[in-house]
Structure 1
Amino acid sequence: MTTICELPTVHVPATPRLLSGQFGRLLFTVFGSSLSMYLLTSVVPLYLAAGGSGGIGAGLSTGAMMLSAVGVELLVPRMLARWGHQVVLGLGLVLLGAPSLVLLATASLPLVLAVCVVRGAGLAILVVGAVALIAEVTPAHRRGEAFGVYGVVVGLPAAIGLPLGVYLTTVIGFDALFVLAAAASLAGLLALRGMPKRSTAEEQHVKVLGGLRGTGLLMPTFVFAAVTVAAGISVTFLPLAVAEDKHSLVATALLLQSVTAPAARWLAGRFGDRVGPARLLAPALVLAAVGAGALVLIGSAVAIVVGSTLFGIGFGAAQNLTLSLMYNRVPKSRYGQVSALWNLAYDGGWGIGAIVFGAIVAGTGYSVAFGLTALVVAVAILPAVQSLRNRT
């Protein structure tokens, strides 16, 4: 009698897909909300200028939005723990998109600033909430790759929206653009169904500004804030500094800045892993300072295009390098603090820079004000070089 032995069946676990349905819907939401933000980033200052509010109003509009975001970012983790992802992200989409429709009725500075404050709150909710949700909807061992994909999806609306918004003001007008910006954000509500309602992670309470001495976090935080000051200024005031009949030139410059920044961010991360981010930070700041300084020659088309391109490269590289430095210098228990500090530097520098620049340009003119902006970035080179000598 012959006995037939059957070999046991070996089940090879399938590799989880990165682009799941939930992750895909989240990326759709992120793309639309980011496009809503960037379509109006340079357009609202133009709208205020057309209504007679001038450079000060333009600076206040960007500053109000970004400083509102800074304040609300600190509240989002608690909101997520209390109400869940679907409700909080839905609230963010509404706050970012719906107020754009108010601009159809008025160009009054107080009302426009109120719109910017509300949209800033929506932006903060979406930035913090989306990143937190990635941990819920992607495989743990592919989370780094997921954040890379997320970074590309966030970067594309900047490359598209900044120049497109300025261009469309001359094609479809302000009113149609405000409706488009609202629709881009509100469309994300359709993608929230099926998202996790609650986080599986325990709520963490991080003292963002506590215990910074000796951590090595202060230098990259300061350096990144200096660069974001210039970033907020360039997208807010470049359309105002150039003659109205040259808005296509501004659109080209903003496009180049928006395209080179994410590309430089990726390359800086790739090479920074090999040689250390500290070695690349000072050269990135030099490029950013030279690019910002080129705008002193605001009457030159070549200076505007080349300057915006160089600044985009330096700004994008600095985003990656400063964040990498901060994570390299702390234990895992302080990763939440790093994220909060970096985002505060981003939004705070962007907003404060726009407000201060608007006040300065009224008394000095654009060339001198852009020169002072470049000086702020240049000063940040010194601590970056000193830090390289002390520690990597």
Structure 2
Amino acid sequence: MTTVCEIPAVAVDRLLSSQFVRLLVMVFGSGLSMYLLTSVVPMYLAANGSGGVGAGLSTAAMMFSAVGVELVVPRMLARWGYQVVLAAGLVLLGAPSLVLLVSASLPVVLTVCVVRGAGLAILVVGAVALVADLAPSSRRGEALGVYGVAVGVPAVIGLPLGVYLTHVVGFGALFVLAAVASLGGLVMLIGLPARVAVEEQHVKVLGGVRRSGLLMPTLVFAAVTVAAGISVTFLPLSVAGSKQSMVATALLLQAIAAPAARWLAGRYADRIGAAKLLAPALGFAVIGAGALVFLPSAAAILIGSTCFGIGFGAAQNLTLALMYNRVDRSRYGQVSALWNLAYDGGWGLGALAFGAIVSGTGYPVAFALTAAVVALAVVPALRAGARA
């Protein structure tokens, strides 16, 4: 009698559960709400007499508001759970957009940006923590990559579409669309976990940062987001008149490159290690930021935006995966908050500083300084890769 040896099947942890898909749909809608107005609100202020300073203040107000709220989101999640907290975030991000229909004054717009920033903080911290909760640990990098695509696709659509539609349907229609995109996500909360998965959630965002190895990736990522905030806020303002369509194309290329690079970085980080890939990712970001020194060259804008998108997208995944790998499950909320603090703090600080500097130096010098900030982050990234 012949004996047939059966090779046992290798179990593969399921990634796209129904809960994860619901989360991705909600993230897509809230991301679209954000990115439709990211470049449009600065343009709205500039068109109504607030100038470059007002444009920088609008981005800074939203992002610094997000930074302040992100410090308390882990505590909110531990007390009220995912559904309640994420619902509050969707309302705060979407509803205030409608206020812009009735006023373009700088104080009103900045107030709207502050409230939307609070909603953004709740959503990004809560969503990233929930991704880590829902994903199998063996496929966490890939899950973060898929999440990055869900976050990045709205940027692909929203950044260039917002700029384009201002000349087609006007600012008002965009404000309504941004509100609907966020508020529609409330339906997706049905079926998501009501409570956090761990009983003793770590809620002190800044506690033990240095000892747990979270400081380096936080600061490295912040350097990249400084350049990201500058790019989406000031690139549309740095190129005049007939070349606005080229700016929309550049933002589209950047927005396509970022989620693609984020997903690929996630797949390879699970196999090679996030630390080894971080320095090459930053290299792309340096090239991209530095290319804008050669404004108004079309090639510099298009190639620079694409390279920066690659570096920025990859850095998003790699820094976040590196941070999650260095902590246990009870600190997922802390990691999510820290990473988003770096994201929003760098984004806001970059826009605010650039707005103050560019009037005295001009755009080429200001973009050169931006590239230098990103270049400084390459050194600790190289050290981390060498130790991995």
Return the TM-score normalized by structure 2: 0.89
Per-residue CA distance 1:37-83 (angstroms, 9 max, x = gap): 00000110111110111111111111111111111122223323433
Report how far residue 136 of structure 1 moved: 6.8
Gaps of 5+ in 1: 1-13
Report how far residue 190 of structure 1 moved: 3.0
Amino acid of the structure 1 residue aligned with 2:62: M
Partner of 1:299: 296
Report how far residue 183 of structure 1 moved: 1.0
Partner of 2:262: 265
Gaps of 5+ in 2: 1-10
Whether the 8 Å CA contact 1:136–1:196 is kept in 2: the answer is: no
Moved more, 148-157 or 55-64: 148-157
Report matched runs for 1:118-137 at 5 Å.
118-134=115-131
Report the Cα distance in structure 2 between the residues aligned to 1:122 and 1:259, rounded to whole angstroms.
25
Whether the 8 Å CA contact 2:201–2:330 is kept in 1: the answer is: no
Moved more, 215-224 or 234-243: 215-224
Whether the 8 Å CA contact 1:39–1:165 is kept in 2: the answer is: yes
Structure 1 or 2, whichever has the larger Rg, is: 1
Whether the 8 Å CA contact 1:228–1:345 is kept in 2: the answer is: yes
Establish whether residue 113 from structure 1 lines up as the match of residue 110 from structure 2: yes
Report the Cα distance in structure 1 between the residues aligned to 2:85 and 2:212, rounded to whole angstroms.
33
Report the Cα distance in structure 1 between the residues aligned to 2:197 and 2:38, rounded to whole angstroms.
35
Q: Determine helix, strand or coil for the equivalent of 2:294.
A: coil
Report how far residue 200 of structure 1 moved: 4.6
Partner of 2:362: 365
Identity, % of aligned positions: 76
Whether the 8 Å CA contact 1:77–1:203 is kept in 2: the answer is: no
Report the Cα distance in structure 1 between the residues aligned to 2:187 and 2:345, rounded to whole angstroms.
31
* Residues 238 and 183 of structure 1: CA distance in aligned 2, closer, same or farther (over 3 Å): same
Report the Cα distance in structure 1 between the residues aligned to 2:141 and 2:268, rounded to whole angstroms.
17
Per-residue CA distance 1:162-200 (angstroms, 9 max, x = gap): 111111111111111111111111112233344444345
Report matched runs for 1:205-284 at 5 Å.
205-213=202-210, 215-284=212-281
Whether the 8 Å CA contact 2:201–2:331 is kept in 1: the answer is: no
Partner of 1:354: 351
Partner of 1:180: 177
Q: What is the RMSD of the two structures over their aligned residues, measured on CA atoms?
A: 2.6
Report how far residue 318 of structure 1 moved: 1.6
Partner of 1:171: 168
Partner of 1:26: 23
Partner of 1:156: 153
Report the Cα distance in structure 1 between the residues aligned to 2:210 and 2:193, rounded to whole angstroms.
38
Establish whether residue 82 from structure 1 lines up as the match of residue 74 from structure 2: no
Moved more, 252-261 or 213-222: 213-222
Report the Cα distance in structure 2 between the residues aligned to 1:275 and 1:143, rounded to whole angstroms.
14
Whether the 8 Å CA contact 1:64–1:120 is kept in 2: the answer is: yes
Whether the 8 Å CA contact 2:124–2:340 is kept in 1: the answer is: no
Report the Cα distance in structure 1 between the residues aligned to 2:276 and 2:146, rounded to whole angstroms.
26
Whether the 8 Å CA contact 2:254–2:309 is kept in 1: the answer is: yes
Report how far residue 148 of structure 1 moved: 4.0
Per-residue CA distance 1:326-371 (angstroms, 9 max, x = gap): 3444455655443332221111111111111111112211111111
Amino acid of the structure 1 residue aligned with 2:155: A
Q: Determine helix, strand or coil for the equivalent of 1:295.
A: helix
Report matched runs for 1:83-102 at 5 Å.
83-102=80-99
Report how far residue 303 of structure 1 moved: 0.5
Report how far residue 101 of structure 1 moved: 0.8
Report the Cα distance in structure 2 between the residues aligned to 1:134 and 1:273, rounded to whole angstroms.
16
Q: Determine helix, strand or coil for the equivalent of 2:253.
A: helix
